[in-house]
Structure 1
Amino acid sequence: MQTEKVIDHIVNWLRDYATNAKCKGFVIGVSGGIDSAVTSTLCAKTGLDLLCLEMPIHQGENQVTRADRHIDWLMEHFPNVSRQPVNLTPVFDSLVAAFPKVDNEEDRHMSLANTRARLRMTTLYYFAALEGYLVAGTGNKVEDFGIGFYTKYGDGGVDLSPIADLVKTEVYELGRVLGVNQDIMEAPPTDGLWGDSRTDEDQIGASYPELEWAMKMDEEGKNLDDFSDRQREVFAIYKKYNTANKHKMVPIPICEIPEDLK
């Protein structure tokens, strides 16, 4: 990959899109992970306004620290960057207290994890509307178009997706060239929605390089019978997520009314 040229291409694309949309800049949620670090740096390089939001909800201290350091680094290098901390923990706790109890606590945990992402989306759009900014998405290609590893109308609710045509290893390559802090480069990827230390690989059962391989195999028309052992296991994981989350990755279904009924 011609990394520096890819960086220039994305930065120009971001600047042109915002200018044509008559928007002053971008707002982004910075989590302390590689995707938001790279995306926020690309937005900063446009020279347009960039508002970085920190939105902890019972967040692990290491995630908060990495996010803080990254925003500090951005503000040192780019005068167009500002920050806004918004502690969503009491908002989340109040919302949880208002919900009725359920019998299946495991289902509740998943639902509440997605609720965290939707609270953050609501916060991003509050500031976007207030300031005339676009909400920049941080999803990569495997998450957005391979396994659907994001929350519908949560972190999937954005105005534009600068890195959605890059797989995770390519995002890391951009991070290396952009000079993203080493603690972010080395941190295991996590969605930060559970209030514990579980990683994306813990949840999915496969690493991003493995998922990138499976996505490529799927695009080439391969099936389970073509593999054995760990490859077969990884491909099955990929297909399971790809099938279950298809509703996130395709347009919302519309009930089309026959002309003779109108």
Structure 2
Amino acid sequence: MTGLLLRDAELDGRTGVDVRVEDGHVVEVGTALGLRPGEAWYDCRGGALLPGLCDHHLHLHALAAWGTSVRCGPPEVTGPAALAAALAAAVPDEHGWIRGVGYAETVAGDLDATALDRLRPDRPVRVQHRSGALWTLNTAAVAATGLAGADHPGVERDDRGLPTGRLWRADGWLRSRLPPAGPPDLAPVGAALTRFGITAVTDATPDLDVGAVAAITEAMRGGALSQRVQLLGAPLDTPAGGGGAPGAAGPPRPPGPNGRGQNRRAPHPNPR
């Protein structure tokens, strides 16, 4: 393929416009442009042709994990019966865990281990509050993570000193107690962003590690993530170029207008 011809687009209020693209650049705009040998084409069917959109605050790995988690809050789940049905139908992951997201108190009040046990006692379950600040674990998950003997200040306890199953602002601690797993697949996220016309994103995850940077970089290099990615939370000592170093942020960028290298743009996972 030598290029791409976009046919019948709306551009700046004009309809029926054809746009030729070569090597990522618009090289010709007109009407009834002829198709060149080897050139691909796409019928825009009158749709508006816009510059690529940018999402300047998202969390790539958290978004990917959300996509494979059980919805536990609005709009999909709005009451106790719907929550019970969602958790009952949930398929555990390869380690036997169930991960729920998006919970809000309007669904079924304040959750704790006892409440979750009534809904799904047979598997370890963890449900994240929609604020992201709270995880609630059922009794099986409390046992699996050793919550009773934990000294993390976010472990909520009752008047007997026993854990309630509620874990506040302890993402890193919880991640360390879960079965080992790699970063989630970013291909569905990349495809969804593309469907929305988003061609560049800023990952605002505050505690990226070199493994997360490397996973995002590999997704970009392999085509699973076609967007340009700017990282806000990469460690200061993360390498800023290619070469296969752990956490490398993609291919080196050309010098900026001042002759210096531009900010690296490759781009953490939420607790698994």
TM-score (norm 1): 0.24
Give the structure with the higher percent strand: 2
TM-score (norm 2): 0.24
Q: Which has the larger radius of gyration?
A: 2
